[in-house]
Amino acid sequence: MAREEESTGRSWKTSRLDALRSEINSCRLCGLCNGRTNAVAGEGPEDARIFLLGEAPGAEEDRTGRPFVGRAGRILEDCLSSAGLERGQVFITNTVKCRPAKNRPPSSEEVKLCRKYLDAQLGIVKPSVIVTLGRVPLGLFIRSKRLGREPFRWDGYMVVPAYHPAAALHGIPNVRSSLTESLKLARSLSENGSSAITE
Ligand code: URA
């Protein structure tokens, strides 16, 4: 056990996630910091096997400092539960940690500047499966413009493309069932490995 762990009883992962949270809370790398009430670093177990990646915090997230706590969050929790998962089992964060005004999608420059925090979180948690919720987070892992729905491997992770839960609020059909299936797949991949992924 490392000396710090011995003296504080906290794991190195928890310490690093907490340090990262402080860094994110005071980040001024892009203009989004000017409109935020709270940065939303993300939350979940330090050793979560499944890592959910959304787009950007909305109004409720900005108010509370927690990811997916508004209407989209309630849909996400329903789908997690239908997939046999609990919110507390997964790590949840976003491509950018501060709310874009009027819930516009984050710009590619904002996503690029915030990427170092996501990479650091992945490097600490080391999940086996990343579930991308919507097009913006999926765009981080693919070069082509064609956004498929098949899971794929990326830099040692299995990536499962999924609908963003807010799509259900915009009248797109079958979002809940499709998201639930994606989360079931993520669960199965995290438990059984990647043999279900065809190259
Ligand atoms: N939508 C997102 O993409 N992320 C959140 O945290 C909330 C809504």
Does 149 score more than 90 pLDDT? no
The rounded distance, in Å, linking the Cα atoms of 55 and 149 is 17
Does 2 score more than 80 pLDDT? no
Strand partners, 153: 158
In DSSP notation, 64-109 reads: HS-SS-SHHHHHHHHHHHHTT--GGGSEEEESSSSPPGGGPPPPHH
What's residue 142's pLDDT? 87
Quote the ligand 1 centre to 67 CA distance (angstroms): 6
* φ/ψ of residue 164, rounded to 5: -80, 135
What pTM value is reported for the model?
Answer: 0.94
Note the pLDDT tens digit of each residue in 34-71.
999 999 999 999 999 999 999 999 999 999 999 999 99
Structural domains present in the chain: 3-192 (3.40.470.10)
Q: What is the DSSP letter of 177?
A: H
When comparing pLDDT for 145 and 116, which is higher? 116
Ligand 1 binding site (Cβ under 6 Å of any ligand atom): 54-58, 61, 67-68, 70, 72, 94, 166
